[in-house]
């Protein structure tokens, strides 16, 4: 039986779609058994629905209890009994309960060559710094902001006429391919 994967997302779900496409083509050594989002309006939920993948939403309310939310998120993910959790554009830090449950079994993708440019504005910060090369990183999730053990990285050249959007799109192409490769390494 293939390894069970749960995908966490907050937005458009393009990384999820790369995993779905790889699963459909037989190129993914795993089965995506669930999607969990922190946003009711995440477009990635529509991608999951279109692929017949069940989903759950665990919204964090501003001013809410982070520890309680983390425990609820952990329970929602556990309901799918995953072997691997893939954070694919999930824009929240995972808490102690989640990390205790999924230590060594939760990975994240980031649009920079970590440890450079951690956080949510990595592409904008890379352009502002004037670097000629940036890229994408897949890493094990830990308690820090993009500080976990690096599993894979790939460089992307910065063009002189790049905008945040154009550079991010080129990084996403690399990120999608690399994420499928790393999931296969974990699950193969």
> What pLDDT, in 10s, does the model give residues 70-82?
999 999 999 999 9
Q: Could you give the percent of the chain with pLDDT greater than 70? A: 99
Q: Does pLDDT of 1 surpass 50?
A: no
CB atoms within 10 A of CB 2: 14
User: What does the DSSP 8-state code read for residue 14?
Assistant: H
Q: For tokens 């995908």, name the residue.
A: 7
Pick the closest to residue 109 from 42, 179, 39 (CA basis): 179
Pick the closest to residue 90 from 73, 104, 78 (CA basis): 73
Q: Where are the domains of the chain?
A: 3-187
Query: 3-state secondary structure string, 150-182?
Result: EEEEEEEECCCCCCHHHHHHHHHHHHHHHHHHH
Token pair belonging to 33? 């058994």
User: What does the DSSP 8-state code read for residue 143?
Assistant: S
How far apart (Å, rounded) are the C-alpha atoms in residues 77 and 68?
14
Q: Does pLDDT of 11 surpass 90?
A: yes
Residues designated as active site: 110
Classify domain 3-187 by CATH number: 3.40.50.170
> What pLDDT, in 10s, does the model give residues 116-164?
999 999 999 999 999 999 999 999 999 989 999 999 999 999 999 999 9
How far apart (Å, rounded) are the C-alpha atoms in residues 179 and 104?
16
């Amino acid at each position: 039986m293939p390894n069970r994967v749960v995908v966490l997302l907050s937005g458009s779900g393009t990384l999820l779609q790369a995993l779905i496409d790889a699963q459909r083509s037989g190129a993914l050594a795993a089965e995506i058994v669930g999607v969990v989002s922190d946003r009711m309006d995440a477009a990635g939920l529509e991608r999951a629905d279109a692929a017949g993948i069940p989903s759950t939403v665990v919204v964090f309310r501003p001013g809410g209890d982070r520890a309680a939310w983390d425990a609820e998120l952990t329970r929602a993910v556990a309901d799918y009994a995953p072997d691997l959790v893939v954070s694919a554009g999930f824009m929240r830090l995972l808490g102690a309960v989640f990390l205790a449950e999924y230590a060594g079994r939760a990975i994240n993708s980031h649009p920079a060559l970590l440890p450079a440019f951690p956080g949510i504005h990595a592409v904008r910060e890379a352009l502002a710094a004037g670097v000629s090369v940036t890229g994408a990183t897949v890493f094990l999730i830990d308690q820090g902001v993009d500080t976990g053990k690096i599993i894979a990285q790939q460089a992307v050249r910065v063009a002189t006429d790049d905008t945040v959007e154009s550079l991010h799109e080129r990084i996403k192409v690399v990120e999608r391919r690399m994420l499928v490769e790393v999931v296969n390494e974990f699950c193969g």
